[in-house]
Amino acid sequence: MLNKNLYLILIISFVFGISFWIGLNVNLLPDEASLNAPIYDELFKILFIIGLIIFIGMTLAVVYSLFKFRKKNNQTGDGIALEGNLSLEIIWTVIPSIVVLIIGLYSYNIYDRIGGMKQLNHNHEMMSSNSEKIWAGISQTSDNEITKNNLSVEVSAMQFAFLFNYPKGNFISGELHVPVDHKVSMKMESKDVIHAFWVPEFRIKQDIIPGQPTVLNFTPTKVGKYPIICAELCGPYHGGMRASIIVQKESEYEEWFKQNKKMEVNV
Ligand SMILES: [Cu+2]
* Residue 130 falls inside a structural domain: yes
Q: Which of 78, 113, 148 is the last residue of a domain?
A: 113
What is the CA(211)–ligand 1 centre distance, in A? 15
* Residue 11 falls inside a structural domain: yes
- Report the candidate in 157, 161, 162, 124 with the shortest Cα–Cα distance to residue 140: 124
What is the CA(157)–ligand 1 centre distance, in A? 7
What is the CA(190)–ligand 1 centre distance, in A? 9
What is the CA(68)–ligand 1 centre distance, in A? 53
| Domain count for the chain | 2
Q: Measured between alpha carbons, how far is 182 from 170 in angstroms, rounded to an integer?
A: 20
End-to-end CA distance of the chain: 87
What is the CA(166)–ligand 1 centre distance, in A? 21
Task: Say how far residue 135 (Cα) sits from the centre of its chain.
Answer: 20
Cβ proximity of 218 and 197 under 8 Å: no
One domain, residues 240 and 161: yes
Q: Measured between alpha carbons, how far is 17 from 46 in angstroms, rounded to an integer?
A: 14
One domain, residues 129 and 260: yes
One domain, residues 105 and 164: no
What is the CA(206)–ligand 1 centre distance, in A? 12
Query: What is the edge-to-edge ordering of all strands in the sheet holding 204-208?
Result: 176-179, 242-248, 224-230, 195-199, 204-208
* Residue 219 falls inside a structural domain: yes
One domain, residues 102 and 179: no
Quote the pLDDT of residue 2. Answer: 67
* Residue 8 falls inside a structural domain: yes
Cβ proximity of 253 and 178 under 8 Å: yes
What is the CA(246)–ligand 1 centre distance, in A? 20
One domain, residues 25 and 54: yes
Quote the pLDDT of residue 262. Answer: 61
What is the CA(116)–ligand 1 centre distance, in A? 23
* Residue 72 falls inside a structural domain: no
* Residue 150 falls inside a structural domain: yes
One domain, residues 260 and 215: yes
One-letter amino acid identity for 160? F
One domain, residues 108 and 174: no
What is the CA(78)–ligand 1 centre distance, in A? 56
Quote the pLDDT of residue 128. Answer: 47
One domain, residues 227 and 259: yes
Strand ranges (E), the chain: 136-138, 151-158, 161-166, 171-173, 176-179, 184-190, 195-199, 204-208, 214-218, 224-230, 242-248
Kind of pairing between the strands at 171-173 and 161-166: antiparallel
Domain range for 11 = 2-67+89-113
One domain, residues 132 and 261: yes
One domain, residues 135 and 254: yes
Angle at 132 (CA atoms; ends 127, 134), nearest 5 degrees: 80
Instruction: pLDDT tens for the chain, 267 residues: list them.
Output: 568 889 989 999 999 999 999 999 999 999 999 988 999 999 999 999 999 999 999 999 999 999 988 888 888 887 788 888 999 999 999 999 999 999 999 999 998 888 887 776 554 454 445 567 777 777 766 554 544 568 889 999 999 999 999 988 888 999 999 999 888 989 999 999 999 999 999 999 999 999 988 889 889 999 999 999 999 999 999 999 999 999 999 899 999 998 888 655 544
* Residue 96 falls inside a structural domain: yes
Phi, psi angles (nearest 5°) of residue 174? -90, -10
Q: Which residues are placed with Cβ below 5 angstroms of ligand 1, an ion?
A: 195, 230, 234, 241
C-alpha count within 13 angstroms, C-beta hemisphere, residue 45 = 15
One domain, residues 172 and 52: no
**Residue 192's CATH number:** 2.60.40.420
* Residue 160 falls inside a structural domain: yes
Angle at 29 (CA atoms; ends 23, 33), nearest 5 degrees: 125
What is the CA(242)–ligand 1 centre distance, in A? 8
One domain, residues 150 and 174: yes
Quote the pLDDT of residue 23. Answer: 93
Query: How much is the pTM?
Result: 0.80
